Structure 1
Amino acid sequence: MIFNWQYLGDSKQSVRKFLQQRGMSRTLLKKIKFYGGQLQVAKMPVTVKTMLRPGQTLTVKLPPEPAQAPLTPSGTPLQILWEDAHFLIIDKPAQVASLPAHAHPLDSMAQRVLGYYQRQGYTNQVIHLVTRLDRGTSGVMLFAKHAFAHTLLAQQLQTGRLKKNYLAIVRGHLASQHNRLTWPIKRAPHSFIKRTTAVGGRTALTEYWQVSQLPTATLVRIHLHTGRTHQIRVHFATIGHPLLGDQLYAGPKVGGLSRPALHCAQLKFYHPFLKRTLTINSPLPTDLQQLLRFETK
């Protein structure tokens, strides 16, 4: 991956400071120096100590990324919502894991993306998963195509600039049309998978708005301010309104639904290379549309 950036300052500035202002980490600068990357001005090699003059263009060639642990590619096609040289955004179906695990070693979303990269003949086939979803959750997932893009989006995750909004169908009728759920979350005793709210857990903040009230359930829009494991599912179970179909947290079986009624409907982030905000939407999948029709009968 090669970038060309023009320096538009009024006075000289070091290459190091110029690149750090663009989000390049010290670790990546070291990799550029020692592992095959390049820094050039007017086709001449420079170092991070070189002082850029106004109007000069710095060319940055990222080093090749080392091969990651072996991953078996999948031939299952992807539903692509957005793609460019830096990011791949896909629509994840329910019941597919984000990453391979002992219980689900094959056909994860990461393996589907690898298979897609191979079929496309992309030079860099390292998988950079920026946002993951639980196996039973459907919706928007974001992959970066190189380490620098991953770093920049990880920073947006930490600062809250990258925003994920969900739709969920929960049991019963909520007392408030809008609320913020703030219970800390930790691993449940004697369980590797299940989480619970408890003193001493990690800070968690879930904000929701009621979209529509159904006869025995409620459709809600949710914004995650933090990203704890099972956060939405745990918080709604805690207030007595578990997600429909979420058997792990006592959600009721209804309408033949075989997974939690949870969908990542929107992803919003600042594209650091296009220099504009992207908003990517995913329509409600068929099983949840059918559930809504079932609930309104």
Structure 2
Amino acid sequence: MTEFYFEAEDTGERLDRYLASELPDLSRSRVQSLIEQGCVYVNNNECTSKKVVVKSGDLVTITIPEAQPLELEAENIPLDILYEDDQLIILNKAAGIVVHPAPGHPKGTLVNALLAHCPNLPGIGGVQRPGIVHRLDKDTTGAIVVAKTEQAHQHLQAQLKAKTARREYLGIVYGAPKTETGTIDLPIGRHPIDRKKMAVVPVEKGGREAVTHWQAQERLGNYTLVCFQLETGRTHQIRVHSAQIGHPIVGDPIYSSARSLGVNLSGQALHAWRLKLQHPVTGEYIEATAAPPVEFTKLIEALRRRSLQRM
């Protein structure tokens, strides 16, 4: 159980909006749920109405209960394995697969599939996300590493934190960048209005450091195939950064406009192409390359043909 205390300034905001702005890691719907459950007090009085207006000097207390472990079920779902030994496994994740169970996605996730493949996985790195070292968005495809021991989990997470693990993505963006390479160094945090989205947010307002390096691989008329290298790993980082510089990822349902290209996409045209990391036991470097999905290569071919026709 975690408690937060706030002495409100002159905001005039509704209670749910005020708390959502003060606690950017919580969605407004989650805040509203906590209010309804009696977890919020204003001036030491329980408050179950999200519409109460917070006034200057009000003391607001919110108690966040400990997350209850999800009942994880092993499911026989096929896995595309790129590398595996007794310490770790690297997979090529398909589009549409959620990495770990969560409210709304209790089954059919990568973790459910891994529990059937690796019976000793439960408990590694925590009971709710066993073995998970980093995430990929539901509709982002490609290489993802999962730890099979607690030692491997800690070692791999340390590599990501120290920025020694190399993660490269291929993405198709709208437009033609003016330069061949670049670096986007802009902090990312929860969107101030739409809590389901991320956005470029100043550090002083809750944003966290986010650095993305990119290099144009192939120019396809008014589209470009780009290789991205992550220095940090914020939620939706490449998608937010690309949109911020005016070149959003093609097919991104949240950060770009839905323009049809004549190719059916399962989601955004973003693929975790290559993953290079140090083995947690031997110290040797492992490099895994994940072949892009068929729809990704079909889109590139279609854009090439369209580009040639316009020449």
Distance 1:96 1:163 in 2: 23
1:109 maps onto 2:110 in alignment = yes
Pick the aligned partner of 2:220 from 210, 214, 227.
214
Q: CA deviation at 1:69?
A: 4.4
Within a 5 Å distance, the mapping from 1:5-154 to structure 2 comes to 69-117=70-118, 122-126=119-123, 127-154=130-157
How has the CA–CA distance of structure 1 residues 123 and 205 changed in structure 2, closer, same or farther, with 3 Å as cutoff?
closer
Match of 2:303 in 1: 295
Match of 2:281 in 1: 273
Match of 1:171 in 2: 174
Distance 2:304 2:233 in 1: 32
| Identical-residue share of aligned pairs (%) | 34
Contact 1:210 1:220 in 2 (8 A): yes
**RMSD between superposed Cα atoms in Å:** 1.4
How has the CA–CA distance of structure 1 residues 210 and 253 changed in structure 2, closer, same or farther, with 3 Å as cutoff?
same
Within a 5 Å distance, the mapping from 1:217-256 to structure 2 comes to 217-251=223-257, 252-254=259-261, 255-256=263-264
Q: CA deviation at 1:76?
A: 1.0
CA shift digits 1:190-249 (9 cap, x unpaired): 323211112231111000000000022000001000011000000010111110000200
Contact 2:70 2:101 in 1 (8 A): no
TM (normalized to structure 1)? 0.73
CA shift digits 1:242-269 (9 cap, x unpaired): 1000020024342222311000001101
Contact 1:244 1:253 in 2 (8 A): no
Distance 1:113 1:193 in 2: 27
Q: CA deviation at 1:75?
A: 1.3
TM (normalized to structure 2)? 0.70
Secondary structure in 1 matching 2:133: strand
Distance 1:264 1:275 in 2: 23
**2:166 is aligned with what amino acid?**
K
Match of 2:12 in 1: none
Stretches of structure 2 lacking an aligned partner (at least 5 in a row): 1-68, 124-129, 306-311
Match of 2:201 in 1: 198
Match of 2:309 in 1: none
Match of 1:22 in 2: none
Q: CA deviation at 1:148?
A: 1.1
Q: CA deviation at 1:104?
A: 2.3
Distance 2:181 2:113 in 1: 37
How has the CA–CA distance of structure 1 residues 291 and 225 changed in structure 2, closer, same or farther, with 3 Å as cutoff?
same
Stretches of structure 1 lacking an aligned partner (at least 5 in a row): 1-67
Distance 2:93 2:82 in 1: 10
Contact 1:77 1:116 in 2 (8 A): no
Q: CA deviation at 1:102?
A: 2.3
Match of 2:30 in 1: none
Contact 1:247 1:253 in 2 (8 A): no
Q: What number of residue pairs does the alignment pair up?
A: 226
How has the CA–CA distance of structure 1 residues 198 and 72 changed in structure 2, closer, same or farther, with 3 Å as cutoff?
same
Secondary structure in 1 matching 2:254: helix
**1:268 is aligned with what amino acid?**
K
Contact 2:171 2:270 in 1 (8 A): yes
How has the CA–CA distance of structure 1 residues 242 and 295 changed in structure 2, closer, same or farther, with 3 Å as cutoff?
same
Distance 1:69 1:173 in 2: 45
